[in-house]
Amino acid sequence: DAKTTQPPSMDCAEGRAANLPCNHSTISGNEYVYWYRQIHSQGPQYIIHGLKNNETNEMASLIITEDRKSSTLILPHATLRDTAVYYCIVRVFNDYKLSFGAGTTVTVRA
């Protein structure tokens, strides 16, 4: 699987959009981009995934660049409950394993 690079931490103001970048320059054509998050003392939670088109669900939007070498997770209106570690991973769709790196620690401030 391709590796990803994320900033170690970022702050965000409550009510503002949080834009979380992820670099995956070695992604291959059959690999998807997934985002999970892990709130303190909880298990990881799926957020969204995509291949090459932008995706949106009730939690977030995923913007993938045309060359697929990077992506951005957007939390449109961050709340204090969005404070968590966010993991960007890439994997082949039929691979059942999840493997997280260090992720980005996002702190939403009032």
Kind and range of the H or E run holding 106: strand 104-109
Residue of 79, 87, 82 lying closest to 35 (CA atoms): 87
Among 53, 58, 66, 96, binds other proteins (CB under 8 A): 96
Q: Please give the Cα distance from 49 to 31 (Å, whole number).
A: 11
- Judged by CB under 8 A, the stretch of 7-15, 22-30, 74-82, 96-104 that binds other proteins is 96-104
Contacting other proteins within 46-75 (CB under 8 A): 46, 49
CB of 82 to other proteins, least distance (A): 18
Q: Residue 51 corresponds to which tokens in the numbers above?
A: 């291949």
Binding mask 6-45 for other proteins (x = CB under 8 A): --------------------------x-x------xxxxx
Q: Residue 108 corresponds to which tokens in the numbers above?
A: 């939403």
For residues 98 and 90, the answer to whether their CB atoms sit within 8 Å is no
What residue ranges bind other proteins (CB under 8 A)?
32, 34, 41-46, 49, 93-102
